[in-house]
Amino acid sequence: MRKNQQNIQFYEDYYSKEYDFIGDEKYYNYLLSKIYLNFKKPLKILDVGCGVGALGFFLLRKNPKLKISGIDISKQGVKTAQKNGIDAKVADIGQKWPFKSGYFDLVFGQEIIEHLVNTDFFINESARVLRKDGLFIITTPN
């Protein structure tokens, strides 16, 4: 099995299990407390590597008018994210993303950059889909 197919299968298996969104709430509250962003207006947010859409699920609970999109390599993860109100698409984040340039107010990459071979492409695509004064947030474990 090729490396990419192994990665896809790993995430298909991982996201086929029941997911606990509640455990993420404390983390997301902490993270959002570190940035200034008016989540009361209808922002367009992209969650790169969205998995089951936990971030979007949390944000939509704060403001249901937010437009949350996501991309992930896992069909199972995307299917669950869609059930949770995320406009999620199956996509390889190492290829051009299926969004218009300058579309998003915020691009969020939560603990994915350490898994990528071509980090420059990830950063360039994030910049491409962000509006001029948009916000790009990357988190990574230390």
Q: Which tokens in the block code for residue 76? A: 């199972």
Using 50, 70 and 90 to split pLDDT, how confident is the model at 78? very high
**pLDDT tens track for 5-32:** 666 666 566 556 665 555 567 767 766 6
**pLDDT tens track for 83-104:** 989 999 999 999 999 999 999 9
Query: Positive or negative CA dihedral for 33, 115, 119, 80?
Result: negative
Residue 142 has pLDDT above 70, yes or no: no
Using 50, 70 and 90 to split pLDDT, how confident is the model at 139? confident
- Overall average pLDDT of the 98-124 stretch: 92
The angle at the Cα of 130, spanning 129 to 136, to the nearest 5 degrees, equals 120
Residue 40: its pLDDT value, please? 60
